[in-house]
């Protein structure tokens, strides 16, 4: 199981769709159509490795830092902007919730 960066694809009806192998999806979207999700990279199903990039904690922090965005419910005025330590904590909690 792994934290991945992925993009949606265009389905048969011409709509955006999340690849079926992405289990916990839609986190930390960027302006290029990338999202963070969870997938079983070693599982029994095919995963398009051109679209699913496994991210280490350090790679996730590098990906998310330039976004300058906080998750829903985060009051940046009261709590301050997210820092690398906050992103690392989010990554750890995401892994724990999906493992």
The pLDDT of residue 3: 95
What the block records as the tokens of 85 is 């330590």
Q: Rounded to whole angstroms, how far apart are CA atoms 76 and 63? A: 20
The pLDDT value given to residue 13: 95
DSSP letter at 12? T
Q: How many domains does the chain have?
A: 1
pLDDT tens per residue, range 38-95: 999 888 889 998 999 999 999 999 888 877 666 656 666 766 667 888 889 999 999 9
Q: Using CA atoms, how far apart are residues 1 and 56, in angstroms rounded to an integer?
A: 12
> What global pTM score does this model have?
0.81
Q: What confidence tens digit (pLDDT) does each residue in 7-45 have?
A: 999 999 999 999 999 999 988 888 888 999 999 988 888
Q: What domain range includes position 36?
A: 2-98
pLDDT of residue 26: 87
Give the tokens for residue 60.
């996730």
């Amino acid at each position: 199981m792994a934290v991945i960066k992925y993009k949606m694809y265009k389905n048969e009806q011409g709509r955006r769709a999340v690849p079926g192998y992405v289990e916990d999806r839609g986190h930390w979207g960027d302006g290029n159509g990338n999202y963070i999700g969870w997938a079983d990279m070693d599982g029994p199903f095919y995963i398009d490795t051109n679209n699913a990039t496994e991210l280490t904690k350090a790679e996730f922090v590098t990906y998310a830092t330039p976004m300058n965005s906080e998750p829903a419910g985060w009051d940046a005025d009261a709590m301050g902007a997210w820092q690398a330590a906050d992103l690392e904590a989010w990554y750890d909690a995401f892994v724990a919730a999906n493992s």
